[in-house]
Amino acid sequence: MNKENKKCGWIKIYRSITDHWVYKNKPFCRFAAWIDLILLANHNQNKFLLGNRLVECQRGELITSEKKLMARWGWSKTKVRNFLKTLQNDSMIDLKPDQKKTTVKIHHYSDYQDIETAKRPLGDHSETTRRPLRDPNKKKEEYKNEKKKKKREKFTPPSIEIITMYFQEKGLTGNIGIREAKIFENYYIANGWMVGRNKMIDWKATVRGWVLRRENGKINYSHPNPQSPSLPENPADDKEKEIKKYKEMQAQDHPYQIMLTKVTAAGAITDDEIKSALDKPGLQKFKRWQGEFDELEGKYKEVIK
């Protein structure tokens, strides 16, 4: 057995495989024809009668003819002859043809069918025999077991400093990150570090979800559900929003200013006059915007004092 074959290992193929319908599919390919020659070769020295003549066949040899191989492989005579010649040129077989038969000797036959190998399988084959094929469901079971193991692991809440750093890493920098981190910590401390009905496992994943919901405007400031935690309003943020909205409503292209221009041009004072100047349903919208603008203007004046 050469080193390369020892490294690659081997498999058992019983000669009865030649009776299987898969094996009888013709024409054979070159590989199937080569395997067929190995299967046909004698694994022990043998003697048999060929006509009136006693013929001795050595181990690793087979007695056949081109005609038999043609029928067996579904090949033409030329193809059979050329294939045998190719094997001989590659030092895979020896050919001894005569008028009645062709003797084919398989080179290194022991590499394919060694007596010692038959008694004691190679290490890799033995290992394969002892070790069953991997169960496709085993991976699922391993995943479930790993998941259960994680659940059993004790969760250690992070410090406020670490939470703050992670919030800032996710884009909430400065005072906003500090504030959000503190709210996050207080909220989950109050809830026993529970996410829904389950104990928190990955606090970073929870922070990422928190930040994402904040960006999408889905954080409710009064909702008790941990999946949508409540956060108090920041008065400074509210004032900035109000100033921004007030300045937007001052712009000439804002719908309120366009309506106000029409009302002023028409000299409209009463509701009926304003309704007439703006068409329906402009009256209600104008009144709502007017009240909102006046309120924002009053707040803006307080801020700039």
Tell which residue, 118, 126, 208, 201, has the closest CA to residue 163: 208
What is the rounded radius of gyration, in angstroms, for the C-alpha atoms of the chain? 45
CA distance 81 to 17: 25
Which pLDDT score, from 0 to 100, does residue 136 have? Answer: 57
> Is 3-127 CATH 1.10.10.10?
yes
Q: In the block, which residue shows the tokens 């030649």?
A: 18
| Two structure tokens written together for 131 | 């070790």
CA distance 228 to 233: 15
CA distance 99 to 53: 13
Q: In the block, which residue shows the tokens 């750093």?
A: 165
| Two structure tokens written together for 268 | 């409209």
Cβ-Cβ contacts under 8 Å for 224 (sequence gap 6 or more): 230
> How do the domains of the chain map onto residue ranges?
3-127, 160-215, 235-304
CA distance 93 to 84: 8
Which pLDDT score, from 0 to 100, does residue 104 have? Answer: 94
DSSP symbol at 221: S
DSSP, collapsed to helix, strand or coil, labels residue 48 as strand
Within a 10 A sphere around the Cβ of 34, how many other Cβ atoms?
Answer: 16
**Residue 100 and residue 107 in contact, taking contact as beta carbons nearer than 8 Å:** no
Which pLDDT score, from 0 to 100, does residue 61 have? Answer: 92
Tell which residue, 298, 295, 266, 297, has the closest CA to residue 283: 266
Q: Which residues of the chain have pLDDT under 50?
A: 117-118, 120-123, 125-129, 221-232
Element housing 50 (H / E): strand 46-50
DSSP secondary structure of 160-202? HHHHHHHHHHTT--HHHHHHHHHHHHHHHHHTTTEETTEE-S-
Which pLDDT score, from 0 to 100, does residue 116 have? Answer: 52
Which pLDDT score, from 0 to 100, does residue 122 have? Answer: 47
